Amino acid sequence: MEGSLPLILGGIALGWGLSAGLMWKERRLGLAAAALMGLLVSLYLGYQHLAASGPSICSVNQVFDCDKVNRSAYSELAGIPIALLGTGFYAAVLTASVLGFLQPARYRKAGNLVFLGGLAAVGASLFLAWASIQLGAWCLFCISLYGVNALILAGGLMSRGDAAGAAQDDRSVSTMLAGGVVVFVAAMAWYNTQSGGPAAQVADAARHGDADAYTALMEVAGGPMILDGTEPVLGDPAAPYTVVEYADFQCPGCAAVTPMMVDLVGRNPNIKVLFKNFPLNNQCNPAMGREFHKDSCRAASASECARQQGKFWDLAHLMFKNQQDLDADGLAFMEQQAGLDAAAMQTCMADPSTLTAVQADAVAGDKIGVHGTPSLFLHGIQGDDWLYMTGGPDGVEMLVHAHAAGTKLPAAPAAGSHPE
């Protein structure tokens, strides 16, 4: 990936240069070019915000690591990826610039609006640059947007005088608002679909009444479920359907599934999720033959300590978002972000009983048949039996909906019936 650095930098410089050159000749076309660049980059960063998307093309080394920045705690505002908020802004500027070029008399106020938006965008750039300093990494595509925002601010400043002769029926405000909202809503709808995961074909068949298809979503658990009552709970503790999730904080698949579990509980108040640690590391998991994830034991211990302070989910969210930074320094920063007591965390991490609790989770996972992460088990649809979910979160939802609606479900296949 290191060899792609000059190519990426060259592409960014070309985009800036083309936009600036067009702006020098015709500022609306230059604004349109800058906004288009911003829109495309924001869409890409919005997609890469999903852990399931894999590494981005601009994660080239430890200094220039787009994923570290784009999936950090700073990359969201009220749960919305900042990159997708940017799509709305750039779409608004692009719409006004193109239409203003074609019909300048109808969009004379657009310059003032672009200028104000540019000020806000440059302010956001300064904040994100500060965040990168805190993280010790830089996102090249984010930096490209810093330049785009500066160009938009400059173009808006150049266009402010246009508003002097604006007519009463000037369409700048309504057009920019419509363009920005439509693109933002569409981007968020797509993002929510991706983060929730598309249903498997077999789950779709089950949804449409094929009872036999339900058997492909589940199988009998390979052993007893051992719960000690300390498991963190997501959702209503009194919910009739229980999902136990075994996960490893360094597992990319777990990072992808966790937001899906949050969505699952949000859509289904009759489902609760219990979390248990299953680090893929023989230092704390006797079921592992070697150290697959070097920081997973430390992260699991930190999650246990956070649980004792009532902030398990706060820290877990940050650790899944920043899987490359689960060393001691990275965890200390995330613990601070989660509002944890630092002294209590240090004491807890040094307490042998913390590692014992992690090991107990791992042993329990081995007994019920966990062979990899994430592993989901469902209780509540077949008496006292625990079922291993081969259909993932989508399968859980399908089965629970069917059971709650009174559908007669087939018996779950025996453990190991479905290929891994």
Per-residue pLDDT reduced to its tens digit, 266-308: 989 999 999 999 999 999 999 888 888 899 999 999 999 999 9
Res 395: pLDDT: 86
Q: Cα dist. 393→167, 196, 199, 294, 384 in Å?
A: 55, 9, 9, 27, 20
* Residue 297 in tokens: 């034991």
Tell me the C-alpha distance between 311 and 342, whole Å: 13
Res 116: pLDDT: 92
Nearest Cα to 206, choosing from 412, 402, 338?
402
Tell me the C-alpha distance between 110 and 193, whole Å: 33
Res 171: pLDDT: 82
Per-residue pLDDT reduced to its tens digit, 360-403: 999 999 999 998 899 999 999 999 999 999 888 888 988 998 88
Res 199: pLDDT: 41
213 Cα distance to chain centroid: 30
Tell me, what amino acid is at 36? L
Are 367 and 223 in contact by the 8 Å Cβ rule? The answer is yes
Res 213: pLDDT: 73
313-337 mean pLDDT? 94
SS3 percent helix, strand, coil of the chain, rounded to 5, is: 65, 10, 30
Per-residue pLDDT reduced to its tens digit, 8-41: 899 999 999 999 999 998 888 999 999 999 999 9
97-120 mean pLDDT? 85
Could you please report the per-residue DSSP string of 358-378?
Answer: HHHHHHHHHHHT--SSSEEEE
Q: Which residues pair with 376 in a beta bridge?
A: 245
Res 334: pLDDT: 95
Query: Which secondary-structure segment (H or E) carries 387?
Result: strand 386-389
Of the listed ranges 117-126, 170-179, 326-335, the least confidently predicted one is 170-179
The yes-or-no verdict on residue 51 having pLDDT over 60 is: no
pLDDT, greater one: 407 or 129? 129
* Domains located in the chain, CATH noted: 2-196 (1.20.1440.130), 201-404 (3.40.30.10)
High-pLDDT (> 90) share of the chain, %:
54
Could you please report the per-residue DSSP string of 196-243?
Answer: H-PPPHHHHHHHTT-GGGGGGGEEE-SS-----S---EES-TT-SEEE
Per-residue pLDDT reduced to its tens digit, 190-239: 877 665 443 444 545 555 556 667 888 899 999 999 999 999 999 999 99
Tell me the C-alpha distance between 139 and 59, whole Å: 8
pLDDT, greater one: 162 or 76? 76
Res 215: pLDDT: 86
**Prediction pTM value:** 0.55
48-77 mean pLDDT? 76
Of the listed ranges 8-22, 104-118, 174-188, the least confidently predicted one is 104-118
Res 200: pLDDT: 42
Tell me the C-alpha distance between 283 and 298, whole Å: 10
* Residue 407 in tokens: 């559908």
Give the SS3 label for residue 245: strand
Tell me the C-alpha distance between 175 and 179, whole Å: 6
